[in-house]
Structure 1
Protein backbone atom coordinates (compact mmCIF):
# COMPACT_ATOMS: atom_id res chain seq x y z
CA UNK A 1 0.00 0.00 0.00
CA UNK A 2 1.28 3.50 -0.72
CA UNK A 3 1.17 6.49 1.62
CA UNK A 4 -1.89 8.24 0.08
CA UNK A 5 -3.92 5.00 0.18
CA UNK A 6 -2.94 4.40 3.80
CA UNK A 7 -3.83 7.97 4.75
CA UNK A 8 -7.22 7.69 3.02
CA UNK A 9 -7.96 4.34 4.68
CA UNK A 10 -7.09 5.70 8.14
CA UNK A 11 -8.65 9.15 7.56
CA UNK A 12 -5.35 10.96 8.11
CA UNK A 13 -4.29 14.28 6.64
CA UNK A 14 -0.71 14.77 5.50
CA UNK A 15 -0.06 16.70 8.72
CA UNK A 16 -1.52 13.87 10.84
CA UNK A 17 0.60 11.31 8.98
CA UNK A 18 3.68 13.48 9.62
CA UNK A 19 2.73 13.63 13.32
CA UNK A 20 2.46 9.81 13.37
CA UNK A 21 5.99 9.57 12.01
CA UNK A 22 7.25 12.15 14.48
CA UNK A 23 5.87 10.05 17.37
CA UNK A 24 7.87 7.02 16.20
CA UNK A 25 11.19 8.65 15.44
CA UNK A 26 12.67 11.45 13.38
CA UNK A 27 10.37 14.48 13.06
CA UNK A 28 8.47 14.88 9.79
CA UNK A 29 6.42 17.71 8.33
CA UNK A 30 3.30 17.95 6.20
CA UNK A 31 5.43 19.46 3.44
CA UNK A 32 7.76 16.46 3.40
CA UNK A 33 4.82 14.03 3.18
CA UNK A 34 3.42 16.11 0.30
CA UNK A 35 6.79 15.98 -1.51
CA UNK A 36 6.94 12.19 -1.10
CA UNK A 37 3.44 11.80 -2.49
CA UNK A 38 4.17 14.10 -5.47
CA UNK A 39 7.47 12.35 -6.10
CA UNK A 40 9.52 15.54 -5.85
CA UNK A 41 11.52 14.16 -2.90
CA UNK A 42 12.74 10.58 -2.67
CA UNK A 43 12.10 8.57 0.48
CA UNK A 44 15.38 7.62 2.17
CA UNK A 45 15.91 4.11 3.52
CA UNK A 46 15.78 5.30 7.15
CA UNK A 47 12.43 6.98 6.49
CA UNK A 48 11.04 3.91 4.71
CA UNK A 49 11.83 1.84 7.80
CA UNK A 50 10.26 4.48 10.03
CA UNK A 51 7.11 4.54 7.85
CA UNK A 52 6.94 0.72 7.88
CA UNK A 53 7.19 0.61 11.68
CA UNK A 54 4.77 3.52 12.23
CA UNK A 55 2.10 1.94 10.01
CA UNK A 56 2.57 -1.55 11.38
CA UNK A 57 3.77 -2.78 7.99
CA UNK A 58 0.72 -1.50 6.09
CA UNK A 59 3.02 0.80 4.10
CA UNK A 60 5.89 -1.60 3.63
CA UNK A 61 9.52 -0.55 3.22
CA UNK A 62 9.70 -3.27 0.55
CA UNK A 63 7.00 -1.53 -1.50
CA UNK A 64 8.40 1.97 -0.89
CA UNK A 65 12.00 1.12 -1.86
CA UNK A 66 12.19 -2.25 -3.62
CA UNK A 67 15.60 -1.36 -5.07
CA UNK A 68 17.00 -1.06 -1.54
CA UNK A 69 15.02 -3.66 0.41
CA UNK A 70 14.22 -6.15 -2.34
CA UNK A 71 10.87 -7.87 -2.82
CA UNK A 72 8.38 -8.28 0.00
CA UNK A 73 9.35 -11.43 1.93
CA UNK A 74 6.82 -14.21 1.79
CA UNK A 75 5.60 -15.28 5.22
CA UNK A 76 7.30 -18.67 4.90
CA UNK A 77 10.66 -17.00 4.16
CA UNK A 78 10.80 -15.18 7.50
CA UNK A 79 12.30 -18.07 9.53
CA UNK A 80 14.93 -18.46 6.81
CA UNK A 81 15.77 -14.77 7.10
CA UNK A 82 16.10 -15.13 10.88
CA UNK A 83 18.47 -18.04 10.39
CA UNK A 84 20.58 -15.97 7.98
CA UNK A 85 20.72 -13.12 10.47
CA UNK A 86 21.75 -15.47 13.28
CA UNK A 87 24.49 -17.22 11.34
CA UNK A 88 25.76 -15.12 8.45
CA UNK A 89 24.76 -11.43 8.37
CA UNK A 90 27.79 -9.29 9.21
CA UNK A 91 27.60 -5.68 10.34
CA UNK A 92 29.17 -4.59 7.06
CA UNK A 93 26.57 -6.58 5.07
CA UNK A 94 23.73 -5.15 7.16
CA UNK A 95 24.94 -1.57 6.58
CA UNK A 96 25.38 -2.29 2.88
CA UNK A 97 21.90 -3.85 2.55
CA UNK A 98 20.25 -0.68 3.80
CA UNK A 99 22.67 1.79 2.27
CA UNK A 100 24.08 3.11 5.55
CA UNK A 101 27.57 4.55 5.31
CA UNK A 102 28.37 4.58 9.02
CA UNK A 103 27.56 2.78 12.24
CA UNK A 104 25.85 5.98 13.42
CA UNK A 105 23.09 5.54 10.83
CA UNK A 106 22.62 1.90 11.78
CA UNK A 107 22.53 2.73 15.51
CA UNK A 108 19.97 5.47 14.91
CA UNK A 109 17.61 3.18 13.00
CA UNK A 110 18.03 0.35 15.52
CA UNK A 111 17.62 2.82 18.42
CA UNK A 112 20.72 1.42 20.07
CA UNK A 113 23.69 3.27 21.60
CA UNK A 114 26.35 4.04 18.99
CA UNK A 115 29.05 2.47 21.20
CA UNK A 116 27.16 -0.84 21.23
CA UNK A 117 26.86 -0.96 17.43
CA UNK A 118 30.48 0.11 16.96
CA UNK A 119 31.56 -2.75 19.26
CA UNK A 120 30.15 -5.37 16.87
CA UNK A 121 32.95 -6.87 14.73
CA UNK A 122 32.72 -5.85 11.06
CA UNK A 123 32.91 -9.34 9.57
CA UNK A 124 31.22 -11.47 12.23
CA UNK A 125 27.49 -12.08 12.47
CA UNK A 126 25.42 -9.40 14.17
CA UNK A 127 23.49 -10.33 17.28
CA UNK A 128 19.90 -11.44 16.60
CA UNK A 129 18.45 -8.59 18.66
CA UNK A 130 14.73 -7.82 18.27
CA UNK A 131 15.66 -4.47 16.66
CA UNK A 132 17.79 -6.20 13.99
CA UNK A 133 15.10 -8.78 13.27
CA UNK A 134 12.43 -6.05 12.96
CA UNK A 135 14.70 -4.11 10.62
CA UNK A 136 14.86 -7.16 8.36
CA UNK A 137 11.11 -7.76 8.55
CA UNK A 138 11.17 -10.81 10.80
CA UNK A 139 8.08 -11.03 13.02
CA UNK A 140 8.52 -12.11 16.61
CA UNK A 141 6.67 -15.29 17.50
CA UNK A 142 4.03 -14.97 20.24
CA UNK A 143 4.90 -16.69 23.48
CA UNK A 144 3.38 -20.12 23.92
CA UNK A 145 0.69 -20.53 26.54
CA UNK A 146 1.92 -22.29 29.66
CA UNK A 147 0.60 -25.81 30.10
CA UNK A 148 -1.52 -26.65 33.12
CA UNK A 149 0.35 -28.39 35.91
CA UNK A 150 -2.28 -31.10 36.45
CA UNK A 151 -4.48 -31.97 33.46
CA UNK A 152 -6.96 -33.80 35.74
CA UNK A 153 -7.31 -31.03 38.33
CA UNK A 154 -10.74 -29.95 37.08
CA UNK A 155 -12.08 -33.55 37.21
CA UNK A 156 -11.27 -34.28 40.84
CA UNK A 157 -14.27 -34.23 43.15
CA UNK A 158 -14.50 -34.66 46.89
CA UNK A 159 -15.54 -38.07 48.16
CA UNK A 160 -17.66 -38.30 51.27
CA UNK A 161 -16.52 -40.94 53.72
CA UNK A 162 -19.22 -43.08 55.31
Structure 2
Protein backbone atom coordinates (compact mmCIF):
# COMPACT_ATOMS: atom_id res chain seq x y z
CA UNK A 1 0.00 0.00 0.00
CA UNK A 2 2.84 2.40 0.83
CA UNK A 3 4.52 1.73 -2.53
CA UNK A 4 1.24 2.52 -4.33
CA UNK A 5 1.02 5.85 -2.48
CA UNK A 6 4.61 6.67 -3.45
CA UNK A 7 3.94 5.75 -7.07
CA UNK A 8 0.79 7.89 -7.10
CA UNK A 9 2.68 10.81 -5.55
CA UNK A 10 5.51 10.57 -8.09
CA UNK A 11 3.04 10.33 -10.98
CA UNK A 12 1.20 13.45 -9.81
CA UNK A 13 4.52 15.26 -9.34
CA UNK A 14 5.60 14.34 -12.88
CA UNK A 15 2.25 15.45 -14.27
CA UNK A 16 2.53 18.82 -12.52
CA UNK A 17 6.05 19.32 -13.89
CA UNK A 18 4.94 18.43 -17.43
CA UNK A 19 2.00 20.84 -17.17
CA UNK A 20 4.34 23.62 -16.01
CA UNK A 21 6.79 23.06 -18.88
CA UNK A 22 3.93 22.95 -21.39
CA UNK A 23 2.50 26.22 -20.07
CA UNK A 24 5.86 27.99 -20.28
CA UNK A 25 6.43 26.84 -23.88
CA UNK A 26 2.94 27.88 -24.99
CA UNK A 27 3.32 31.25 -23.25
CA UNK A 28 6.60 31.96 -25.07
CA UNK A 29 5.03 31.02 -28.41
CA UNK A 30 2.05 33.26 -27.73
CA UNK A 31 4.34 36.18 -26.85
CA UNK A 32 6.31 35.79 -30.11
CA UNK A 33 3.10 35.70 -32.14
CA UNK A 34 1.75 38.76 -30.37
CA UNK A 35 4.94 40.74 -30.97
CA UNK A 36 4.83 39.87 -34.68
CA UNK A 37 1.23 41.02 -35.01
CA UNK A 38 2.03 44.25 -33.17
CA UNK A 39 4.93 45.00 -35.55
CA UNK A 40 2.69 44.36 -38.58
CA UNK A 41 0.00 46.67 -37.20
CA UNK A 42 2.58 49.37 -36.40
CA UNK A 43 3.99 49.18 -39.95
CA UNK A 44 0.49 49.49 -41.47
CA UNK A 45 -0.25 52.49 -39.27
CA UNK A 46 2.94 54.25 -40.41
CA UNK A 47 2.07 53.66 -44.09
CA UNK A 48 -1.49 55.06 -43.78
CA UNK A 49 -0.63 58.19 -41.80
CA UNK A 50 -0.84 61.40 -43.82
CA UNK A 51 1.81 63.85 -42.84
CA UNK A 52 0.20 66.72 -44.77
CA UNK A 53 -2.94 68.01 -43.03
CA UNK A 54 -3.81 70.28 -45.98
CA UNK A 55 -4.86 67.21 -47.98
CA UNK A 56 -7.71 66.53 -45.58
CA UNK A 57 -11.25 67.36 -46.65
CA UNK A 58 -13.79 69.00 -44.38
CA UNK A 59 -17.52 69.46 -44.76
CA UNK A 60 -18.82 72.89 -43.93
CA UNK A 61 -22.01 73.13 -41.90
CA UNK A 62 -24.24 76.04 -42.88
CA UNK A 63 -27.26 77.02 -40.83
CA UNK A 64 -29.46 80.06 -40.65
CA UNK A 65 -30.61 81.85 -37.52
CA UNK A 66 -34.15 80.57 -38.06
CA UNK A 67 -32.97 76.98 -37.87
CA UNK A 68 -31.20 77.66 -34.57
CA UNK A 69 -34.30 79.36 -33.14
CA UNK A 70 -36.50 76.44 -34.22
CA UNK A 71 -34.07 73.93 -32.69
CA UNK A 72 -34.01 75.90 -29.42
CA UNK A 73 -37.85 76.01 -29.29
CA UNK A 74 -38.03 72.28 -29.93
CA UNK A 75 -35.49 71.62 -27.17
CA UNK A 76 -37.43 73.83 -24.73
CA UNK A 77 -40.72 72.07 -25.55
CA UNK A 78 -39.05 68.69 -25.05
CA UNK A 79 -37.67 69.81 -21.69
CA UNK A 80 -41.15 70.97 -20.59
CA UNK A 81 -42.61 67.64 -21.60
CA UNK A 82 -39.94 65.73 -19.70
CA UNK A 83 -40.47 67.90 -16.61
CA UNK A 84 -44.21 67.33 -16.58
CA UNK A 85 -43.71 63.58 -17.14
CA UNK A 86 -41.22 63.47 -14.26
CA UNK A 87 -43.70 65.36 -12.06
CA UNK A 88 -46.43 62.80 -12.81
CA UNK A 89 -44.06 59.91 -12.14
CA UNK A 90 -43.08 61.41 -8.76
CA UNK A 91 -46.77 61.89 -7.86
CA UNK A 92 -47.42 58.25 -8.71
CA UNK A 93 -44.47 57.10 -6.63
CA UNK A 94 -45.63 59.25 -3.70
CA UNK A 95 -49.13 57.71 -3.90
CA UNK A 96 -47.70 54.20 -3.99
CA UNK A 97 -45.43 54.87 -1.02
CA UNK A 98 -48.29 56.46 0.91
CA UNK A 99 -50.55 53.46 0.25
CA UNK A 100 -47.81 51.03 1.29
CA UNK A 101 -47.11 52.93 4.50
CA UNK A 102 -50.82 52.97 5.37
CA UNK A 103 -51.10 49.24 4.69
CA UNK A 104 -47.97 48.52 6.74
CA UNK A 105 -49.35 50.59 9.61
CA UNK A 106 -52.60 48.63 9.58
CA UNK A 107 -50.73 45.33 9.54
CA UNK A 108 -48.50 46.47 12.41
CA UNK A 109 -51.52 47.53 14.47
CA UNK A 110 -53.31 44.24 13.81
CA UNK A 111 -50.19 42.23 14.64
CA UNK A 112 -49.34 44.16 17.79
CA UNK A 113 -52.85 44.21 19.30
CA UNK A 114 -52.80 40.56 20.54
CA UNK A 115 -49.32 41.06 21.97
CA UNK A 116 -50.38 44.20 23.85
CA UNK A 117 -53.52 42.45 25.11
CA UNK A 118 -51.49 39.50 26.44
CA UNK A 119 -48.99 41.83 28.09
CA UNK A 120 -51.78 43.84 29.68
CA UNK A 121 -53.44 40.66 30.99
CA UNK A 122 -50.17 39.42 32.48
CA UNK A 123 -49.51 42.80 34.07
CA UNK A 124 -53.02 42.88 35.54
CA UNK A 125 -52.62 39.34 36.91
CA UNK A 126 -49.21 40.15 38.39
CA UNK A 127 -50.55 43.33 39.99
CA UNK A 128 -53.55 41.51 41.43
CA UNK A 129 -51.37 38.66 42.74
CA UNK A 130 -48.98 41.16 44.30
CA UNK A 131 -51.83 42.98 46.00
CA UNK A 132 -53.28 39.69 47.27
CA UNK A 133 -49.93 38.61 48.68
CA UNK A 134 -49.48 41.95 50.40
CA UNK A 135 -52.87 41.60 52.09
CA UNK A 136 -52.62 37.89 53.01
CA UNK A 137 -49.06 37.54 54.11
CA UNK A 138 -48.13 38.04 57.71
CA UNK A 139 -44.63 37.53 58.87
CA UNK A 140 -44.16 35.83 62.21
CA UNK A 141 -41.06 36.73 64.12
CA UNK A 142 -39.76 34.75 67.08
CA UNK A 143 -37.50 36.60 69.42
CA UNK A 144 -34.79 34.76 71.31
CA UNK A 145 -33.84 36.15 74.64
CA UNK A 146 -30.25 35.68 75.55
CA UNK A 147 -29.21 34.82 79.06
CA UNK A 148 -25.49 35.36 79.60
CA UNK A 149 -25.30 33.14 82.70
CA UNK A 150 -26.72 30.13 80.90
CA UNK A 151 -24.43 30.68 77.91
CA UNK A 152 -21.41 30.67 80.24
CA UNK A 153 -22.57 27.44 81.87
CA UNK A 154 -23.06 25.80 78.46
CA UNK A 155 -19.62 26.91 77.33
CA UNK A 156 -18.00 25.60 80.57
CA UNK A 157 -19.74 22.23 80.12
CA UNK A 158 -18.48 21.94 76.53
CA UNK A 159 -14.93 22.69 77.62
CA UNK A 160 -15.13 20.01 80.36
CA UNK A 161 -16.42 17.48 77.84
CA UNK A 162 -13.54 18.19 75.46
CA UNK A 163 -10.97 17.87 78.26
CA UNK A 164 -12.40 14.52 79.41
CA UNK A 165 -12.31 13.23 75.85
CA UNK A 166 -8.64 14.19 75.59
CA UNK A 167 -7.81 12.29 78.80
CA UNK A 168 -9.42 9.13 77.55
- Please tell me the TM-score bracket, short chain as reference: under 0.3
Q: TM-score, normalised by structure 2?
A: 0.16
Q: TM-score, normalised by structure 1?
A: 0.17
Q: Which structure is larger by alpha-carbon Rg, 1 or 2?
A: 2
Structure with more helix by fraction: 2
